[in-house]
Amino acid sequence: MSENLHGRMGSFWLSELPYIVMLILVLVGIAITSLVPGWTAGYWQLITVAFAAIAIASEWPRLETDSRWWRLVLVQVLHWGAIFLAMRVLFLPHVAQMLNSDSIGLAVLGLLALGTLLDGIHLASWPIAVVGVLLGLSVPAIAWLDQATVMITVIALALIAAGGSYIWYRRGGRFG
């Protein structure tokens, strides 16, 4: 039974691998946006191409006939091409000057989330749609974490100061 369960779990992870790769690519993209803003445009655009390839590859086995492959490819190229062009607009010099790198990163992530969710809906692929929902939920989460960093730091410093004061008081007002 253990081998059967082990085999099913391995099969599950293998079948979910494309969607896990999508999430990993986005996590790397978020890190790149924060750490190396100069690479942001190129990386997010490569992710768009990768998402199109993953969608095509994951849906290929579900095709009823080999003659329907051209429709799948055409629809995916048009869908992800539109997302790619919308991303390019965000990186145009006049648009990029109005936004900082964090804003552009969140806008690109939101655009990718919408594109992924819609692709999952149109393909009737719940795993792709779930990736889109997770990406969409990450946009406000990242924005909140960015704003909350100062608040979290202040709270941590206040707790350290309160703890230090308590220890100092318990030791009779002396250090050591």
Exposed / middle / buried, residue 102 (Cβ in 10 Å: 0-12, 13-18, 19+)? middle
In a domain, 160, yes or no: no
Residue pLDDT, tens place only, 121-162: 999 999 999 999 999 999 998 888 877 776 777 787 778 887
Tokens 């008081």 belong to 169
Buried b (16+ CB within 10 A) or exposed e, 14-51: eeeebbeebeebbeebeebbeeeeeebbebbbebbeeb
In a domain, 158, yes or no: no
pLDDT at 166: 73
pLDDT at 46: 95
User: What is the mean predicted confidence (pLDDT) over 13-18?
Assistant: 77
What confidence tier does 90 reach under pLDDT thresholds 50, 70, 90? very high
Exposed / middle / buried, residue 154 (Cβ in 10 Å: 0-12, 13-18, 19+)? exposed
Find the domain containing 23 and state its range.
Answer: 2-139
CB atoms within 10 A of CB 123: 20
In a domain, 112, yes or no: yes
pTM confidence score: 0.76
Q: Please provide the average confidence, as pLDDT, over all residues in the chain.
A: 84
Residue pLDDT, tens place only, 23-46: 999 988 888 887 887 888 899 999
Q: Which residue has the higher pLDDT, 48 or 166?
A: 48
In a domain, 149, yes or no: no
In a domain, 109, yes or no: yes
In a domain, 145, yes or no: no
- Domain count along the chain: 1
Nearest to 54 by CA among 152, 127, 163, 141: 127
| DSSP 3-state of 98 | coil
In a domain, 163, yes or no: no
pLDDT at 32: 85
In a domain, 122, yes or no: yes
Integer angstrom CA distances of residue 71 from 44, 74, 78, 87, 168: 25, 5, 10, 24, 73
pLDDT at 86: 96
